[in-house]
Amino acid sequence: MDLKSKIKSKGEELKFLEGHDRLQYFLDQSRDTDLLDDVYKTDENKIKGCISHLWVIGEIRPDDTMRYRHDSDSHMTKGTAKVILDMVNNEHKDEVSKLDIDSFRELGINELFTMQRQIGFASLIDRIIQMAK
């Protein structure tokens, strides 16, 4: 399955969750996230425009697949980032670098966000893409 199809499939899965259930899903995802060492919680790794503190690091592995890790001081932000990063982790860097913010609209989560959180979401997507280039 290509990456855009993977994102669309996750969006279809999330459509079945309404209101509070969808929010709870993201909160639950945050519990299944490894902590990021404090050494990586720097301004350089911080996602700008996010209401909460969100740090993301990424690397291109020798086989040209991506590996991202993250942490946040907000469970909602951490869970949302986990859903996004789980989709792009282990994907080829060329596939990730071809994405844009519109590629993630299929998730249907933008309507859950305030305007400020939408800015943070867009900054997260931009960072993911830039790390893959």
pLDDT tens-digit profile of 88-131? 999 999 999 999 999 998 888 776 676 667 788 999 999 999 99
pLDDT value of residue 38: 96
Averaged pLDDT for residues 10-14: 92
Question: d(Cα 51, Cα 119) in Å, to the nearest integer?
Answer: 9
CA distance 79 to 27: 6
**Rounded CA gap, 1 and 85, in Å?**
17
How far the first Cα of the chain sits from its last, in Å, is 21
Please answer whether residues 14 and 22 qualify as being in contact, where contact means their C-beta atoms are separated by less than 8 angstroms.
yes
Q: What domains can you pick out in the chain, each with its CATH number? A: 3-132 (3.90.1010.10)
Model-level pTM? Answer: 0.92
What digits encode the pLDDT tens for the residues 43-96? 999 999 888 999 999 999 999 999 999 999 999 899 999 999 999 999 999 999
